[in-house]
Structure 1
Amino acid sequence: MAPRIQLGPPRIALAEGSSLFVTSPEGEVEAIEQHGFFVSDTRLLSTYRLHLAHRPWLLVSSAPLGHYAAEFIFVNPDFEAPEGRVRRGTLGFRLQRTLRGGVHDDLEVTNYGLRPVTFPLVIEADCDFADLFEIRGLEMPRRRTIQVRSAAGEIRWLYQRAHYRRGLILRVARSDVPPDVATPRIIFELTLPPRTPWRACLHFIPLLGDRVLEAPEDCGGALLDELEERRRQWYGAFAACETPHADLAQTYRQAVEDLTVLRLTAADSAVEHCVVAAGIPWFATLFGRDSLIISLQTLPVSGQFAPAVLRELGALQATEVDDWRDAQPGKILHEVRHGELAEFQEIPHTPYYGTADATLLYVITLHETYRWLGDRDLVDHLLPVAERALTWMDKYGDLDGDGFQEYRRRSPRGITHQGWKDSGDSVVDAQGYDVPPPVALVELQGYAYDAKRRMAELYQEVGRPEDAARLRQEASVLRARFRQAFWWPEEGTYYFALDGSKRPVRSVVSNAGHALWSGIATAEEARGVAARLMADDMFSGWGVRTLSSDHPAFNPFGYQVGAVWPHDNSLIALGFKRYGFVGEALRVAEGILEAAAHFHSYRLPELFAGLQRGPRSFPVQYLEANVPQGWAAGSVFALLRMMLGLRADAPRGRLLVHPTLPEWLPRLRLKGLTVGRAVVDLEAFREGERTRWEATVRTGRLEVIGQPWSPEEV
């Protein structure tokens, strides 16, 4: 049996929309541990403790009950009561917490002894209203003047700066015994007869300006039953995965669960198109690059995310040059924040546009969404957004007019490196030193090529053949120039980038695999890239590393200089399959999915260490990884898409398939795939060394065609 790896520090995180409640396994909040009740990028609750007199309860067990609720079970330590000594385990304390808007805590204490027990149950709480950027250490913490008021059964914290107001109410909604409120504590003086439980309900009610996020009124089971029904409705919006491979089935279910957590809509909203956040705990907001890649990964199994992401990002497309926010007309945002620092323009995230790839990915995602959903109205509505994105590519994305996409930060508070590897030390030269911008990354050129070809297809669809022909010609020219400038014959792969002097950056990196995903690579070059990325210094056995282990800057624990990223590997695997390197693609999928089977709950983290896999080794976590993380979860769907070779053509009522299952996966069935208005079940199964398939169209009209992937497909 594979060892199970617990991800991240011990904590329990509940999430709903832009709200997040992070605690210790005991359900308590300690500010120094980066716990808290966070709403819209502000930490409201910074301290929360539950004591028996002055002693902590002893935790027996705790666990989340889905992404919106958790339960904690305690017993008492030995203590002296007026009735005499109370032995450990005489009292049982059950805390059930539910997040929906506000937070509802159900408390129940039962005396299992033979005589009454008298004791105080003490709740201590405080608020600091810290901005998320302060908590993450990206900004210096500041002192705030906070008003604290107490009344019968509640404590109210209020913070105001000019028009910006935040607050939290901690209210005793119900209790068998009236509480004493002595800020910052609420005290219940309890005398419990044998076998008689005491119960109470606490509400945490956020105040956001004039908005009041009421806590749910219902207690425990009734509320959880209601939320569970909503959860089942959301699960029904995804295709179902059936396979005898138990680990893969569990990994798929967890990926669906993770994306359900990351919806930026209320937990009780109807099943509808919705935007997805990037990750928890620090990226529970809209990100351009992340949300678009998640949309691309999930389209084969759910059409719920892509349309809403495209609409939301289109609505926030930049309209003017604003160096503080790294914005230019037509650019798609990188990240948007809603806390105090953003409100007062102390950080540029209002939104911040410092990403070189999101604008290119927007065009790619619009076309791919049309291929899967066949929604012509969506294309007609968003085509102007895509056209402005293409204009940005040519006018601002190409900084020096050489035909390649480059980036350079303009904001003094912006991000230096603006590809998907956006940490400060992620873009390094052959000696391991940082490459200062402007930088033309290898993957950006592939994305630009793909965006032009896909936009040409959309122009063809709307009756603009001249524009389509122009973009195809531009893409062809870019491909030829890319080969001349980026091919690294000595290594048989592409250079990492071109620096500001147009010198190649000679570092072997995973980014080269994105050139296969985008289709810009020639067949001969693709063969070299596939072989190079699967060499021992790049492929760890769990996945393709971000940077070669032979490189001077390699660090298996480094964020983007040696670690393995599931989303990166999913795009690489799709690229391998596209060019016919099936064995290599399946090895990547096997590594990532076997890593998932080692992690607790079969949950893929944002990234994990790039240590070499051995006979009895296990994948090693990256301590600060976001869990759950959107494009890590989406990697599961992308890898299944790769195995089945799925390409949709909803406008023409077609689904192209090319299943190639590995030896360890005898059968794989996706039920409820949606292509346009048709719904189809697709089953692939191994017969000897071959993979066969069967398709059953359940509703609508759809032609399912077996056809190998081609690099020239759009």
Structure 2
Amino acid sequence: MGAQVDPLTPMPDEIGTARTPQFFIAGNAPLQERRPRTLKHGDTFSIFDHNGDALSGPGSLDGIFHRDTRYLSHFSLTIRGERPLLLSSALRDDNALSIFDLANPDLEDAEGNIILQHDRIHVRRTRFLWRDTCFERLSLRNFDDVAHTVPMEIEFGSDFLDLFEVRGARRKRRGKIHPPSVSDSEVILSYTGLDGIKRQTTIRFDAAPKELTQSRATYAVELAAGQTKQIFIEISCGRPPLAMSARRQYFSSLREARRETKLLVRNAASIESSNDIFNEVIRRSVADLYMLVTRTKEGPYPYAGIPWFSTVFGRDALITAAQVLWMDPSIAKGVLKHLAANQATEEDPEADAEPGKILHEVRYGEMAELKEVPFRRYYGSVDSTPLFLMLAGAYFERTNDIQTIHELLPNIRAALDWIQNYGDRDGDGFVEYGRRTTSGLANQGWKDSWDAVFHANGELARGPIALCELQAYVYAAWRAAALIADAMGMGDEALRYGARADELRKNFDEAFYDHELGTYVLALDGDKRPCRVRASNAGHTLLTGIAYPDRAAHVVKTLMERSSFSGWGIRTVATTEARYNPMSYHNGSIWPHDNALIAAGFARYGYRAEAARIFDGIFAAATYIDLRRLPELFCGFPRQRSRGPTFYPVACSPQAWAAVAPLYLMKSCLGISFDPIGNAVSFHQPHLPEFLDSVVIRGMSMPAGKLDVLLRRLGTEVVVQVLDRDGDIRVTTTY
């Protein structure tokens, strides 16, 4: 996934050898416990606590980050030195604003007499991000029947730490923090890194403080009975503030931010159901998706997740785009074109790059610039390339956009060449991975933590490693290439690609299916020894169709046994396995996106009731989570009555492919497919989970127009009713 390693565990320098720390994430600041309020726009994101503060200190994740550097590490509001009382904090449903409602605490004079009783002054902090700037409106209202002067302080500071330092990396040397520049209403904080780049944070206040120093703004706000006053604060990362006042800039930028959000979602289908809580989950899913989407010159691109992965990741974006392809094809188009523009064209062992390989990760911080971490432009994921081909084929099937596919054809051919010339390292017909530099990632599938690939006795697998799901993706890549070649009139190539897929399917079944396990083995190690482990990876074989039909029933049965299915979802590793740990990153935890992909595989082979059980578990988990926001992962403990899931302490939230998991689960259960040439939408064996009686989907796009449909339970079946159609679109239902 987006992660480089198990965030809580050091990684081996080489698989199977002694562990040394590598890009780990410190586990001393649990995100869920703090209920942070997170915002993102473009290359900037912010994390503030439920009071609206960013509190610095050891292990703190708070602040404003821009292009992998923390530009603001401390920002706190006090009333005469006391923290205000929290009333509530929330994000708008569309993630446009975070809102914090606070009240004054009791204030005493030197003799201990109360001079201002609590809850007389209401403080509302309203905040949003636009481009590289954080805007805040601070509103104070006096609800007392007498006037008050409110002594208020805002403390601020920046450590300009690289994101990898915030994650826990330690550096021997750092650059130079410069003395702050202070005027009546503005402070400039700056730092020059060892890379020679000067980074600066500008903080503006409107109205001007009574006193402004290099780390504090002090106010004495005079409020008559019933009076409201506002202060506007602007925090810019790098870019000098515009000439207009912070007050005017706040409202101007808010209008632009709302306009962009509306433009982003204008082509997306919407979902509304009979379950109000599920509607909240869906609204948050959609809002999180489009908050994580960043505009690139090639089109919209979903960044992987906050805080650790708010940048371009190949695998994450490809899977996210595939999950929402049915409701918004424009994201897939943006992802394909951006990754094509950044496809490797030459060998670079330090970056794990080879011609035709698709990008894994891009970083812009000081440590990446200095190569203290290898991720400036890094290609160390073995599955991004076949996933790129899979998405290209799926996008073409969904849209019939022949022009875009024609533009991508050189990249498609280069990716296929990589599979043949570099992916299959030993010529056995399977694609393997093995890093080309000791600074790169040791495990390069989506389960990329140090101990994610192992044998039945717990022994770590030695490379090169051929993962089972990777072969499934490669199979789908050949199928996609055949589809595209046929559409382009390249019949011979289409036949050749189809034959490669058939051959791989046969060989995969012989080498990976284990009758005793009742499923596919996790991987083959460098000696071609099977890793006989029951893992969720096997479910991805159903997703792509590489599994023969008579194998599917066994795979579904194994994954739905209590050792794998916890009630919340399918664990990454079954409880029976040697390295099972429900609190681990990849060896027993539950990942929403993994479950959504597996459920799609179940549905592909006709197991929609089982897919609906997974949907029910993931939805039930979301009902217990703050903001109804599904995190990157949660722990794999069994589901118990009247108790929610156990959180993983440093899971990203929001995380793109987790956010859209409910949308993909919906598509799988309803059996939705598209025929853009015939302008038809089909529902094959639609099935609603028990928590839904009806669903309305509006604005499903086709070349001929858009479609609104209602699906509702009628006895044991789900019936489909067309509510509205813009254009000549056919709707078919099969049972």
Q: Could you state the TM-score of these two structures normalised by the residue count of structure 2?
A: 0.89
Q: 1:141 to 1:150 in 2, by over 3 A?
A: farther
How far off is 1:397 after superposition?
Answer: 0.9
Residue in structure 1 matched with residue 485 of structure 2 by the alignment:
459
Task: Summarize the Cα distance change of 1:583–1:58 in structure 2 as closer, same or farther, 3 Å threshold.
Answer: closer
Q: Which residue of 2 aligns with 1:292?
A: 318
Distance 2:688 2:100 in 1: 43
Q: Cα distance 1:641–1:91, how it changes in 2: closer, same or farther (>3 A)?
A: closer
**Larger deviation, residues 472-481 vs 405-414:** 405-414
Correspondence 1:248 to 2:281: no
1:87 counterpart (116, 130, 134)? 116
Cross-structure match for 2:69: 42
In structure 1, what is the Cα distance between the partners aligned to 2:172 and 2:156?
20
Partner of 1:712: none
1:446-467 Cα distance to aligned partner (Å, 9 max, x none): 1111100110010000010000
Q: Deviations over 1:476-530 (max 9, x none)?
A: 1111111110010101100100001000001100100101111110011111111
* 3-state secondary structure, aligned to 1:129: coil
Aligned to 1:180: 211
- For residue 198 of structure 1, report the CA deviation from its aligned partner: 3.9
Structure 1 match to 2:268: 238
Query: 1:97-246 counterparts in 2 under 5 A?
Result: 97-101=127-131, 102-113=133-144, 116-118=147-149, 120-140=151-171, 142-147=173-178, 148-161=180-193, 163-175=196-208, 178-207=209-238, 217-218=247-248, 227-228=257-258, 230-246=260-276
SS class of match (2:660): helix
What is the rounded CA distance, in whole Å, between the counterparts of 2:244 and 2:490 in structure 1?
52
CA–CA separation in structure 1 for the residues paired with 2:438 and 2:245: 40
1:609 aligns with 2:609: no
- Whether the 8 Å contact between 2:206 and 2:245 is mirrored in structure 1 is no
1:28 aligns with 2:53: yes
Cα distance between partner residues in 2 of 1:673 and 1:348: 41
CA-CA distance at 1:235 after TM superposition? 4.0
What corresponds to 2:464 in structure 1? 438
The answer to whether the 8 Å contact 2:35/2:626 transfers is no
Q: State the AA in 2 paired with 1:76.
A: N
Contact 2:615 2:689 in 1 (8 A): no
Indicate how the Cα distance of structure 1 residues 618 and 108 shifts in structure 2: closer, same or farther if over 3 A, else same: closer
SS, match of residue 31 in structure 1: coil
The Cα offsets for residues 42-86 of structure 1, whole Å up to 9 and x where unpaired, read as 100111122233333333332233524222233333334599741
Task: Please identify, of 6-15 and 638-647, the stretch whose mean Cα deviation from structure 2 is larger.
Answer: 6-15
Q: Once the two structures are superposed, what CA deviation does each residue of 1:525-558 show, in whole Å capped at 9, x if it has no partner? A: 1111111111110111111111011112111111
2:581 is the counterpart of 1:552: no
Residues 242 and 669, structure 1, Cα contact 8 Å, conserved in 2: yes
For 1:329 and 1:359, locate their aligned partners in 2 and report how far apart those are by CA, in whole Å: 11
Matched to 1:202, the amino acid is I
* Alpha-carbon distance between aligned partners in 1 of 2:68 and 2:252, rounded to the nearest angstrom: 30
Bigger mean CA deviation after superposition, 448-457 or 99-108: 99-108
Alignment check: 8 A CA contact 1:6 1:599 kept: no
The alignment partner of 1:29 has SS state of coil
The change in CA–CA distance for 1:364 and 1:499 in structure 2 (over 3 A counts) is same
Q: Structure 1 residues 425, 61: CA separation in 2 closer, same or farther (over 3 Å shift)?
A: same
* Separation of aligned partners in 1, 2:241 and 2:376: 20
Worse-matched range after superposition: 196-205 or 18-27: 196-205
Query: Which residue pairs with 1:527 in the alignment?
Result: 553
Residue of structure 2 aligned with 1:516, choices 542, 545, 551: 542
The 1:393/1:217 distance shift into structure 2, 3 A limit, reads farther
Indicate the SS of the match to 2:395: helix
Q: Determine the C-alpha separation between the residues in 2 that align with 1:247 and 1:557.
A: 27
Corresponding residue of 1:596 = 622
SS in 2 for 1:416: coil
> What letter corresponds to residue 154 of structure 2 in structure 1?
I
What is the letter of the counterpart of residue 95 of structure 1?
Answer: R
What percentage of aligned pairs have identical amino acids? Answer: 35
What whole-Å deviation, never above 9, does each CA across 1:204-229 have from its counterpart, x for those lacking one? 12216x89899964377786566445
Match of 2:518 among 489, 492, 514: 492
Contact 2:206 2:246 in 1 (8 A): no
Alignment of 1:260 onto 2:305:
no
Alignment partner for residue 304 of structure 1, among 314, 320, 330? 330
Q: Which amino acid aligns with 1:188?
A: Y
Give the secondary structure class of the aligned counterpart of 2:160: strand
Aligned with 2:403: secondary structure?
helix
Residue of 699, 702, 706 corresponding to 1:672: 699
Q: Which amino acid aligns with 1:637?
A: L
Structure-2 change in CA distance of 1:8 and 1:381 (3 Å): farther
Aligned partner of 1:164: which letter?
Answer: I
The runs of 5 or more residues in structure 2 that have no matched partner are 1-29
CA contact (8 A) 1:285 1:337 kept: yes
Q: Using a 3 Å threshold, how does the CA distance of structure 1 residues 115 and 662 change in structure 2: closer, same or farther?
A: closer
Tell whether the 8 Å contact from 1:203 to 1:215 is kept in structure 2 after alignment: no
From the superposition, tell whether residues 214 and 135 of structure 1 become closer, same or farther in structure 2 (CA, over 3 Å).
farther
Describe the SS at the equivalent of 2:295. coil
Tell me how far apart the structure 2 counterparts of residues 81 and 193 of structure 1 sit (CA, whole Å).
20
Q: CA deviation at 1:432?
A: 1.9
Match of 1:353 among 367, 374, 379: 379
Q: TM-score, normalised by structure 1?
A: 0.92
Provide the C-alpha distance between the structure 2 equivalents of 1:449 and 1:471, rounded to a whole number of angstroms: 10
**Match in the other structure for 2:455:** 429
Residues in 1 aligned to 2:329 and 2:666: alpha-carbon distance in whole angstroms: 16
Instruction: Provide the secondary structure at the position in 1 that maps to 2:378.
Output: coil
Code of the aligned partner of 2:56:
A
**Following the alignment from structure 2 to structure 1, what is the Cα–Cα distance between the partners of residues 147 and 663?**
56
Q: Return the letter of the residue paired with 2:695.
A: L
Structure 1 residues 113 and 634: CA distance shift in structure 2, 3 A: closer
Q: Does 2:97 align with 1:69?
A: yes
Q: Structure 1 residues 213 and 606 mapped into 2: Cα distance closer, same or farther (>3 Å)? A: farther
1:142 positional shift: 4.7
Q: Secondary structure at the match of 2:540?
A: helix
Decide whether the 8 Å contact of 1:100 with 1:216 is kept in 2: no
Q: CA deviation at 1:382?
A: 0.5
Deviation at 1:657, TM superposition (A): 2.3
Query: 2-side partners of 1:189 and 1:666: how far apart?
Result: 56
State how far apart, in whole Å, the 2-side matches of 1:213 and 1:641 are: 48
Rounded Cα–Cα distance in structure 2 between residues aligned with 1:193 and 1:702: 63
Kept in 1: contact 2:609–2:687 (CA 8 A): no
Aligned partner letter, 2:97: A
1:199–1:688 distance in 2 versus 1, CA, 3 Å: closer
Cα distance in 1 for residues equivalent to 2:299 and 2:731: 26
CA contact (8 A) 1:9 1:623 kept: no
Is contact 2:175–2:192 with CA below 8 Å preserved after alignment? no
Distance of aligned partners of 1:649 and 1:8 in 2 relative to their CA distance in 1, 3 Å threshold: farther
How far 1:656 sits from its partner (Å)?
A: 3.2
**Preserved contact between residue 207 and residue 213 of structure 1 (Cα < 8 Å):** no
d(CA) in 2 for partners of 1:211 and 1:153?
12
Partners of 1:92 and 1:173 lie apart in 2 by 19
Does structure 2 retain, via aligned residues, the 8 Å contact 1:104–1:215? Answer: no
What secondary structure, in the 3-state scheme, does the structure 1 residue paired with 2:648 have?
coil
Number of equivalenced pairs: 697
